[in-house]
Structure 1
Amino acid sequence: MSIRDWPDGERPREKLLARGAGVLSDAELLAVFLGSGRRGQSAVDLGRALLAGAGGLKPLLDAPQDKPGIGTVAWCRLCAALELGRRYLDAELRSGETLTDPAASARYLKSRLAGYPYEVFGCLFLDNRHRVLAFEELFRGSIDGASVHPREIVRRCLSHNAAAVIFAHNHPSGVAEPSAADRKITLRLREALELIDVRLLDHFVIGHGTPTSLAQRGWL
């Protein structure tokens, strides 16, 4: 049955307009971008099949474009939506307000780092009122680690005239549990930053689910 034959309250676009995008399932959100399905398969059915074949929404969107059922136009729409989401979070952090909500910085950092298949170490540079000055991806590594150099981080802090920083790195495995090496380099970086009067506010480990905060663990 075509989506046009569905009751108005069950069609993805009508549901979105009436009740907001948050009520749509992953398959229904995909259907909005796909626009149409295939013969004998509605856009929602196609969305469900794509999700099942990829193992979920994240692996579907993280993988390169080569998926039966997603044309170039639909794929461009999905990529543009992801980038808009990232830029929205970036604008939220750069609004000029003091960054006091750890959850906001965690959401932003996850949006920037979670999709990489290799480890990336990034940094939010803040002023003395904890307003965001910049975000930079400083180091990239392999699937199981990245080399972090305190001297380069100190140099970038001085370049931005930062008064505080928040670190983050992803675990491509999806397990957001800090390793002994993560804790060791965090303490080493904190000691290096203390020499130039820059405060280390937190270090997030990004994986599946909610990022892990070393500050909340009491490890800073």
Structure 2
Amino acid sequence: MVEGQKGVGQNRKLSHTVIVSRPDQKTHSPISEWPKLERPREKLRMLGASALSDAELLAIFLRVGVKGKSAVALAQDLLDHFGNLPRLLSCAPEELTRIHGMGISKWAQIQAAYELVKRSLEEKLSQESIFSSPSYVREFLQAKFGRLPHEVFLCLYLDSRLHLIECQELFRGSLSHTAVYPREILKEALSRNASALIVAHNHPSGNPLPSSADQALTKTLSEALQLVDIPLLDHCIVSGSGFFSFSDAGLMRNGLNKE
């Protein structure tokens, strides 16, 4: 790379100053040797968590890197390997521990942090009406089971104030199918004295759009719940990269008015 050109003497010959590229020292040096405001913990303390990249946040949980690689560089390698943060968070321990520098203790630390996020969202739903914080329903469901490799059917039982009583995994199936029994859903809702219900299931295929079977189930379940005066407010379909709400799509006719 040429930084500049200078004429020398009358013959105007050129001399060149060559810039030699150097590897990023932060990749190889310990974080303790970085400028203070570039260290993830210091950056978080001074600027807040939102100022940190995914790799920097993950590095705080990893705590240390491996020989010749900082914790931030190791964290970025993990993100590159899994493709994105949700896939990393939902990986099995066998997947993570195959990567150099990653043992079962680091997997456990990441899983513990992820579980705290899910519990925080669930507690938020138990304290506020679902209509006062609709985004929490989506975030909670996506975190809860959006990237599972098999289908799961959940019920969210709500009280008269539309606060969450309990989220229950009621049925579990294969990659593409789960058998759902409306009679069991009614029994569980009545046992919790639920005043309303939201049901949800995931599509491991990645496409959150409802199938004809999903639509038929929603209709059957809504009609069955009407017999015991429990409105079905929504049926949500979750995937790793998408979300579908029957209510938002105008396909729920028997739920409560959101206004």
May I ask how many residue pairs the two structures share in their alignment? Answer: 219
Residue deviations 1:126-158, cap 9 Å, x none?
122212211111110011121111110111111
Counterpart for residue 130 of structure 2 = 99
Partner secondary structure for residue 171 of structure 2: strand
Counterpart for residue 169 of structure 2 = 137
How far is 1:62 from its partner?
A: 1.8
Counterpart for residue 218 of structure 1 = 250
1:161 aligns with one of 188, 193, 208? 193
Q: Structure 2: any 5+ residue segments left out of the alignment?
A: 1-28, 253-259
Counterpart for residue 66 of structure 2 = 38
Q: Kindly indicate whether the alpha-carbon contact (under 8 Å) linking 2:160 and 2:194 is maintained by their aligned counterparts in 1.
A: yes
Amino acid at match of 2:70: S
Distance 2:238 2:47 in 1: 31
Partner secondary structure for residue 94 of structure 1: helix
Distance 2:178 2:48 in 1: 40
Residue deviations 1:87-132, cap 9 Å, x none?
111211122x332232122222222222321010101111222122
**1:189 matches 2:221:** yes
Give identity over the alignment, percent: 44
Q: Kindly indicate whether the alpha-carbon contact (under 8 Å) linking 2:150 and 2:175 is maintained by their aligned counterparts in 1.
A: yes
Counterpart for residue 15 of structure 1 = 43
Q: Structure 1: any 5+ residue segments left out of the alignment?
A: none
Distance 1:54 1:131 in 2: 36
Amino acid at match of 1:51: L
Partner secondary structure for residue 72 of structure 2: helix
Q: Are the structure 2 counterparts of residues 207 and 53 from structure 1 closer, same or farther at C-alpha, using a change threshold of 3 Å?
A: same
2:105 aligns with one of 66, 73, 90? 73
Distance 1:106 1:37 in 2: 34
Structure with higher Rg: it is 2
How far is 1:210 from its partner?
A: 5.0
TM-score, normalization: structure 2? Answer: 0.80
Question: Which one has more relative contact order, counting CA pairs under 8 Å at least 6 apart?
Answer: 1
Q: Are the structure 2 counterparts of residues 156 and 20 from structure 1 closer, same or farther at C-alpha, using a change threshold of 3 Å?
A: same
**1:5 matches 2:33:** yes
